[in-house]
Structure 1
Amino acid sequence: MSNSDMLGTYNSRPDALRLTISTMDEKTGKFTGTFVAPNGDNLNISGGFNFNSEKKRTDLSFKISTAEWAFYANYDRDNKKWFEEWIGDEYKDGAVTGHWTFYKDLSGPSSGTNFGYATIADKLQ
């Protein structure tokens, strides 16, 4: 899997939150994209990411006006970067106030949502 496979749209279920990673710069560890927040706002975001080989995952974080968000995507069973599932925590005043799983939309840029269940099941076997 290429690091650029991190680019894409990720959907939560059933909450209809959406994280889209539009650009990423590995040298600086910065990314840009959009985020549909729990209140339904569609926000432009920018933040940081790093490939955390010690924890065998990719970490990603950003701030919006109402909260901070921290995501991670575990590496696959072969310890390779894998971006089809992100776990996201929402923080307000330093406390976790929400916890969601986001699945990569594998159906294409303008198609319906694919929550990736089969792919995740394959990875867990």
Structure 2
Amino acid sequence: MHPAHDTPLISILMQGQASTASYQANALLNPAGTDLDYSTVVTDANVQSLDNFRLDRQLTQKENDALDDASPTNIAALKAIAASIAKDNAKAVEEVARRILAAQSGGQESAAA
């Protein structure tokens, strides 16, 4: 996202808040040295030590993030980028799902006791 590429100022300001919050959460919750490249960089070595996962990607020219663009073409492009974010971050998605399932089974066991 860059003003020289005709990105609207409001988009830059809104993304700035999210990026700052992500940076701070990463610094506070994840081990020192955990990288951010839009998304949290998840590896086999760090996946179990992370407490904060951010899944994100910069939009390309095909997608339009304008709230009023619900055209079939744009919806298809946004769905495609969402699918690629999930695919590219499969380790993170699987770890979050594993933790949710572990918490649910742990909660059910203690409730039954």
Instruction: Tell me the TM-score normalised to structure 1 length.
Output: 0.25
Going by fraction, where is helix more abundant, 1 or 2? Answer: 2
Going by fraction, where is strand more abundant, 1 or 2? Answer: 1
For the pair shown, the structure with the greater C-alpha radius of gyration is: 2
